[in-house]
Amino acid sequence: MITGIAIMLDYEFVRNALTAGGAVAIVAGVVGFFLVMRGQTFAGHALSHVGFAGATGAVLIGVSPFWGLMAMTLAAGLAMGLLGDRVSGHDVAIGMVLSLALGLGLLFLHFYTSFATQATALLFGNVFGVDRATVITLAILAFVCITAIAVIARPLLFVTLQPELAEARGVSPRLLSVLFMAIVAVAVAEAAQIVGVLLVFTLMVGPAAAAQRVTTGIAGGILLTVLLALAETWLGITLAYYTDWPTSFWIAAISSLAYFASLFPGLLSRSTA
């Protein structure tokens, strides 16, 4: 096994995939933990769909799809942050916006059919196609996201757990919502490079949801979330290398198994009671 892993690491595209996947997993774990805690798991799913339209639209004007994805998710994230709680409870409207975003993405593909192969990678991810320049970009963005979360973590937790008291103490829920959703948008754009826009949910939400079911502390929960995200990503990449099955499938499958495994302690305690 050790020899097999050493041989696998001889390839630069594998090293790039593992490095990029690790950077994105850390960001997805940290940001996803707060996303689940705040009850905004729909945001990662929604932003990824909106980002698809941005990526395909960017190609039409000769811009890198990654930066088109980033710009659109960031704009949508800021809008969600400004709307705050008013976004919740409008599931039908949100669903229609997501459908429209995917429809626009398909329309842009219609006008630029040579982008179809890249669009498939955008939808479902292609971590083995990540080059060194993209790895550096993802690492820098990961550092920015983690730093930003570290800066706003305390007031964000205050607003999340005790919103009325936090507002009475002069903490602005709307400002924190905008800042947090901007960070989420960047994290979603990064995660899309690994698992694709359609499966961002599995990396942003799966590890955090599993960790929060088996931990009670904030620090322990974040640490476990990051470890799960890293394990799922690296194991998924390794299995994809040896089986030639899609990386996104393996990451989604492992993430689902981890989440359902986290349900067992609660189910056992209920059955015993």
Burial of residue 253 (CB within 10 Å: 0-12, 13-18, 19+) is: middle
Q: What is the pTM of this model?
A: 0.86
What would the pLDDT profile of 216-258 be if each residue is shown by its tens digit?
889 999 999 999 999 999 999 999 999 989 898 999 999 999 9
**Per-residue pLDDT reduced to its tens digit, 129-169:** 888 998 999 999 999 999 999 999 999 999 988 888 888 88
- Selection from 177, 182, 194, 197 nearest residue 54 by Cα: 197
CATH code of 121's domain: 1.10.3470.10
Average pLDDT for the chain: 84
CA distance 186 to 108: 23
List the alpha helices (DSSP H) in 127-172. Answer: 132-161, 163-168
> At 271, is the pLDDT very low, low, confident or very high (cuts 50, 70, 90)?
very low
Of 224, 195, 197, nearest in space to 212 by CA: 224
- 115 token code pair: 């982008």
Closest Cα partner for 15 from 197, 23, 28? 23
Can you give the pLDDT at residue 199?
Answer: 80
Range of the domain at 110: 2-272
**Residue 268, amino acid:** L
pLDDT digits (tens, 9 = 90+) for 19-70: 999 999 999 999 999 999 988 887 777 788 788 888 888 877 878 888 888 9
| CA–CA separation, 122 and 131 (whole Å) | 15
pLDDT-above-90 percentage for the chain: 39
Number of domains in the chain: 1
